[in-house]
Amino acid sequence: MNAVFGEIGKRLGEKWVLLLSLPGVLFVSLLAGAVAVGDRDWTREAVRRELLRSAERWWERLSVHPAAALLFLAGVLVAAYAVALLAQVCGIAVRACWLAAVPFRWPLFWLTRLRRRVWRRHHDKWRRATTDQGRAEAAARRNAVSLAPPACPTWMADRMAALATRVRGAYGLDVSFSWPALRTLLPLDLCGAVDAAQAAFERSARLAGWGVLYLGTGCWLTVADRHGWPLVLLGAASAVTGWAYGRASAGALAALVETSYDLTADQLVAALVGRPAPAQGEIASETLRKGA
């Protein structure tokens, strides 16, 4: 058993487990505290003393029974890990919302129309501008909305859509099909930068997912006349921070992918233009098989 507990301790020390468990432990603690306080006014001294005495009695019972304490600790960790898995699901949903996936695109169609109207207004100002400074300012305001005519309800989704539009217009390449092949031609430093930007975007979505989970639970507790305001505050801060980092990392990722096409699109086209015809490939396959 000592060896088993030692292995569990080492596993709990791993970075990824800590990253998953610590926010979950905080969530479980705040939720348990809100349930324990109930609808009582925790700012009153009598209520605080009663809660403190209850906590002391509960801790004394656990200290007398080590097995119960161990089971309690295991239960907290399991609950925290389950909450972390739920937060991962929320992060996936947040990522889908940011990128305007199919479940979220249709309900937000009005945002697409609004963004398109704003973009066209700035684009018209850019066309009517008569000075270089005026054109530069109008272009900056237009590009802040989108680098191409908006087709999505969110800035992040439009940034990715603009990437595909600009690459197709400049090089005639379809990003969804050409990117895996072009990625194999990238220098190691550029490939590492793309991977880092992608990882930063995923982390931002996970952070926002935690925010959604905290915020939703806090609002539910508040409606149920419980003290859910700590969860609301932490959830709002996490959601806003995750969104800000997600927006920055999405822009960096799109810029790096577009730079990758600028630097290596000619190599990709040169490598594919001279590819063998299907008939030649069939002859080569028969030669290599040698009748097998």
Euclidean distance between CA atoms 103 and 153, whole angstroms: 12
* Confidence (pLDDT) at 95: 94
Euclidean distance between CA atoms 205 and 24, whole angstroms: 16
**Domain spans, the chain:** 2-108+153-289, 110-152
The tokens for 52 are 């403190």
The string of pLDDT tens digits covering residues 74-108 is: 777 888 888 888 999 999 999 999 998 878 777 88
Q: Spell out the alpha helix ranges (H) of the chain.
A: 2-12, 15-37, 45-64, 66-98, 102-105, 109-128, 132-145, 155-171, 175-183, 188-223, 229-273, 278-289
Q: What is the CA radius of gyration of the chain?
A: 27
* Confidence (pLDDT) at 148: 87
66-98 helix and 188-223 helix, angle to the nearest 10 degrees: 110
Give yes or no for a contact between 218 and 232, defined as CB atoms under 8 angstroms apart: yes
Q: Could you tell me which of 21, 290, 254 has the C-alpha nearest to residue 156?
A: 254
Euclidean distance between CA atoms 289 and 292, whole angstroms: 5
* Confidence (pLDDT) at 131: 86
The string of pLDDT tens digits covering residues 4-40 is: 445 545 554 455 555 556 888 888 888 877 777 766 6
* Confidence (pLDDT) at 252: 95
Taking 70 as the pLDDT cut, the residues of the chain under it are 1-21, 38-65, 68-69, 275-277, 280-281, 284-285, 288, 292
Q: What is the pTM of this model?
A: 0.79
- Residue 137 phi/psi, 5° resolution? -65, -45
Q: Could you tell me which of 168, 169, 162, 167 has the C-alpha nearest to residue 148?
A: 162
Give yes or no for a contact between 210 and 91, defined as CB atoms under 8 angstroms apart: yes
Count the neighbouring beta carbons within 10 Å of the beta carbon of residue 35: 12
* Confidence (pLDDT) at 282: 73
